[in-house]
A and B are shown apart, each in its own frame.
Chain A
Amino acid sequence: MADISKIIGIGLIGLIIIVILKQYKPELAIYVSIITGVLILVFAVEKLTGVINLLQSISNKTNINNNFLKILLKITGITFITEFAVSICSDAGEKAIASKIEIGSKVVIITMSIPIITSLLELVLEILP
């Protein structure tokens, strides 16, 4: 409860500052929005540590290949950062750059997930007579 109120507080304060600052210096208002995003994200990321540890311990107990979990986590991280960058760009009114960042991140994710895809295909080939 304390955490969510903190995040909401940071967000609202950032919002008020941006609204005030936009009348005088719109270029500085963007920085405030970036900082608000960074603060909230860092807060959230620190909370994620427990979840990731849990996932890793579960995968250690079962017989799943540990590399797959690593790749999954990496993909999650990439989407995390990409989402941050994309939202900043679209906030600043640069929709084109935002969509390009999205495309780039999608390409990177696909190249990273190639091992998973190949192993899936192999599994299918094994099952098929």
Chain B
Amino acid sequence: MDINLLFKIAAVGILVAVLHQVLVRAGREDQAMMTTLAGLVIVLSMVIQQISSLFNTVRTLFDL
């Protein structure tokens, strides 16, 4: 749980954008789409962990 996660997501986003550009420039739209999807899934899995940790903290604190 720290600020590094933000930078990580930003870096993944920029990398995926560059990959997408390169692949589209080469005329491989389907693979470009796949990379975008893969990046999305990876980032989503990171984000979901954090959200669940937030919910757990709130639940224990306010004993919901």
Which residues of A line the B interface, CB within 8 A?
Answer: 9-10, 13-14, 17, 20-21, 24-25, 27-29, 31-32, 34-36, 38-39, 41-42, 45-46, 48-49, 52, 70, 73-74, 76-78, 80-81, 84
Query: Is B58 in contact with A77, judged by CB distance below 8 angstroms?
Result: yes
Report whether A17 and B6 are in contact in the complex, using a CB–CB cutoff of 8 Å: yes
B44 touches A31 (CB 8 A): yes
Known: A14-B6, A24-B17. A38 touches B59 (CB 8 A): no
Q: B1 contacts which of A27, A39, A70, A77 (Cβ < 8 Å)? A: A39
User: Given A24-B13, A28-B13, A73-B63, are A35 and B53 neighbors across the interface (CB < 8 Å)?
Assistant: no
Q: Nearest Cβ distance between residue B64 and chain A, in whole angstroms?
A: 5
From A14, A20, A21, A77, B61 is in contact (CB under 8 Å) with: A77
Do B3 and A13 have beta carbons less than 8 Å apart?
yes
Q: Could you tell me if A35 and B62 are in contact, using CB atoms closer than 8 angstroms?
A: no
- Across chains A and B, the number of contacting residue pairs, with CB separation under 8 Å, is 97
Contacts of B1 in A (CB 8 A): 39, 42
Q: Which 5 A-B pairs have the closest CB atoms?
A: A77-B62, A24-B17, A28-B13, A17-B10, A21-B13
Write the nearest CB–CB distance from A71 to chain B, whole angstroms. 10
Cα of A77 to Cα of B55 in the assembled complex, Å: 10
Residues of B within 8 A of A21 (CB): 10, 13-14
A16 smallest CB distance to B (angstroms): 9
Q: List residues of B whose CB falls within 8 A of some A CB.
A: 1-3, 5-7, 9-10, 12-14, 16-17, 20, 36, 39-40, 43-44, 46-47, 50-51, 53-55, 57-59, 61-64
In the complex, besides A13-B3, A35-B5, A39-B2, 15 extra interface pairs with C-beta distance below 8 angstroms are: A10-B3, A25-B14, A25-B16, A28-B13, A31-B44, A32-B13, A42-B1, A45-B54, A45-B58, A46-B57, A52-B62, A73-B62, A74-B62, A74-B64, A78-B62
